[in-house]
Amino acid sequence: NAGVTQTPKFRVLKTGQSMTLLCAQDMNHEYMYWYRQDPGMGLRLIHYSVGEGTTAKGEVPDGYNVSRLKKQNFLLGLESAAPSQTSVYFCASSYRPRGLRPAGQPQHFGDGTRLSIL
Amino acid sequence: RKEVEQDPGPFNVPEGATVAFNCTYSNSASQSFFWYRQDCRKEPKLLMSVYSSGNEDGRFTAQLNRASQYISLLIRDSKLSDSATYLCVVNPAASGTYKYIFGTGTRLKVLA
């Protein structure tokens, strides 16, 4: 059981280049999230999705786009990379609360993508 | 006041010691609480979930105090491998179940 898988693990880009980060989960989770983590700061939500075909902005969405065409995949795109987007990016997923499951299911994280923009 | 606050530490403790961290939250409607550990530059890993008064898993105990709006994590018989940053995460139900508020973490160093 792979859990949450992120690709690539590392990437170096030049300013202005574009790229897509892929997140795949095999736990049949409804919710998926993209976070960034910078030194001395907590995890900040970029975008999230509560189901296939739906996405929404988080706390720091500028400069990023996302898509969720399939339930198991959540893509994060950088259209024109900037040095301020140098960060570690984490994808996470969780169940949607329903039935006997209490509200707020724990998130499961991928092992991160380390992105440097020169 | 921040939505979720943690003492950044570091907490330096000898092996075998008992150590406790607190995490305060501002939204009294919060229903779900989580402790994660994060090793340097790696992904957060779930330590335990807390939905009622508390939870225990081996050497780790989490206690929830709704009246004072804090959750604590107690680690007994500390091991060198417990050295990490511990993240407190709160799910404020009033804001929708998708939202998770992360503390900035408490750093623990267990010394030989």
Alpha carbon of B24: minimum distance to chain A alpha carbons (Å): 15
State the pLDDT confidence band at A99, using cuts at 50, 70 and 90: low
Alpha carbon of B92: minimum distance to chain A alpha carbons (Å): 8
A94 close to A5: Cβ distance less than 8 angstroms: no
Look-up of token digits 């897509």:
A20
Q: What is the pLDDT of residue B12?
A: 96
* Nearby residues of B36 by Cβ (< 8 Å), 6 or more positions away: B44, B45, B46, B47, B86, B87, B89
- pLDDT over 80 (residue A97): no
Alpha carbon A115 to its chain's center: 13
The percent of residues above 70 in pLDDT, for chain A, comes to: 94
A49 close to A32: Cβ distance less than 8 angstroms: yes
Q: Over chain B (112 residues), what is each successive 10-residue block's mean pLDDT?
A: 89 96 91 92 92 89 94 97 96 70 94 95
User: Between A and B, how many residue pairs show a Cβ–Cβ distance under 8 A?
Assistant: 56
- Residue A42 sits at the chain B interface (C-beta within 8 Å): yes
Alpha carbon of B41: minimum distance to chain A alpha carbons (Å): 8
Q: Which chain B residues touch A88 with a CB distance below 8 Å? A: 41
Cβ pair B42:A48 closer than 8 A? no
Q: What is the pLDDT of residue B66?
A: 92
Q: What is the pLDDT of residue A60?
A: 95
- Residue B46 sits at the chain A interface (C-beta within 8 Å): yes
Cβ pair B97:A109 closer than 8 A? no
Specify the higher pLDDT residue, A52 or A102: A52
Q: What is the pLDDT of residue B98?
A: 74
A63: left (phi over 0), alpha (psi -120 to 50) or beta: left
Alpha carbon B28 to its chain's center: 17
Give per-residue pLDDT as tens, A70-92: 999 999 999 999 999 999 999 99
3-state secondary structure of B82: helix
Report d(CA B89, CA B104) in Å as an integer. Answer: 9
Alpha carbon of A116: minimum distance to chain B alpha carbons (Å): 14
- pLDDT over 90 (residue A102): no
Cβ pair B42:A111 closer than 8 A? yes
- Residue B44 sits at the chain A interface (C-beta within 8 Å): yes
Give per-residue pLDDT as tens, A3-58: 999 999 999 999 999 999 999 999 999 999 999 999 878 899 999 999 999 999 99
- Identify which of A97, A109, A112 has the shortest CB distance to residue B97: A97
Look-up of token digits 């950044």:
B8
